[in-house]
Amino acid sequence: MPLWTGVVGCPMGEAGFVDAWLRAQVSSIVSYIDKTVLSLRAASPHALWAAIYYSCSAKFDFILRHLPPDKTVSHARVVDAALTRAAEACGYEGVLGDAITARRARLPARMRGLGLRSLEEVAPAAFCACFVEAAERFLDRSTPGGGRERGFFQMLAPLFGHGAFELPYPNSPRLSRFLSGCTTNVNPLGAQLGQLTPTGESFKKAWEGMQREVRGEGVAGPLDVRAPEAGNGRAGSAGLQRQLTQQREQVKRNQLSRSILGLPHGDTRREAWLAVDSF
């Protein structure tokens, strides 16, 4: 197992090193989940579910926020599979085996689901939100009282442009310059002129992928704007990942409802969906 923990607990380096580090982390997480099931399954399925929901399901979240999806999704699938096995241990093997039931399980309880979110699906929202929230603090900016707040990566100004986040878009460019390709030879991240940095490519791909998920569904949210405007106009305390999740999950809930209502009358999955809150 690679021993260097990199920056803020995440690996940095060649692809092989990062992948090996992630495999080691996933192995540890899966082992933790399996041991939790062995310890609690016989004693109390209710306690097991609480442990899965409140502890096990969040073990990979930090990594999802700090590494791009192209590096994490294959590992997230492994953790998802372990969480599914653990959830089925609260009931019976195969309880989440059909596609409709599995989709329902991934929705939050307020949308008639189990709240067992797919980490693979969480990955793009987690990464994009973390990047935007960090980028907004990279550069020096004005404060409401007329002072200046120092950024913690002012040396990235050539990539973003000075004052990139001073005002709402389009009065300030936000990510426009960063996502239009490097325009200077003085580039601290090593991209060539006219090219996106690897982080820029990952961000743009993840954001546009989420936009395709919600397009045409009539659910408003942060994905209504282009990648260069990501996070624009929200209150300073508003978590972007939460807003992205609300929009995406509402779309998934609507799509699932249509799928379930299209099932034959008498199908137990349809009856269970319609019976929620009816007693």
The domain spans of the chain are 15-97, 129-254
Q: 193-200 long-range CB contacts below 8 Å, 24 or more apart?
A: 197/159, 198/68, 199/68, 199/131
Token match 């991209």: residue?
Answer: 191
User: pLDDT over 70 for what percent of the chain?
Assistant: 90
Residue holding tokens 């969906």? Answer: 273
> Which range has the worst mean pLDDT, 5-9, 196-200, 271-275?
5-9
Query: What pLDDT score was predicted for residue 148?
Result: 85
Collapsed DSSP state (helix, strand, coil) of residue 141: strand
- Supply the pLDDT for residue 181: 73
Find the mean pLDDT for residues 183-191.
50
* pLDDT at position 197 over 80: yes
Encode pLDDT of 244-257 as tens digits. 999 999 999 999 99
Burial readout 90-119 (b: 16 or more C-beta within 10 A, e: otherwise):
beeeeebeeeebbbbbbbeeebbbbebbbb
Q: What is this structure's pTM? A: 0.91
pLDDT of residue 9: 80
- Indicate the pLDDT class of residue 194, thresholds 50, 70 and 90: low
Q: Does residue 1 surpass a pLDDT of 60?
A: no
Q: Does residue 85 register a pLDDT over 70?
A: yes
**225 close to 232: Cβ distance less than 8 angstroms:** yes
For the cut 70, the answer to whether the pLDDT of residue 185 exceeds it is: no
Task: Tell whether the torsion through CA atoms of 4, 10, 16 and 19 is positive or negative.
Answer: positive
Q: What is the pLDDT of residue 186?
A: 47
Q: At residue 93, does pLDDT exceed 80? A: yes
CB 136, CB 231: distance < 8 Å: yes
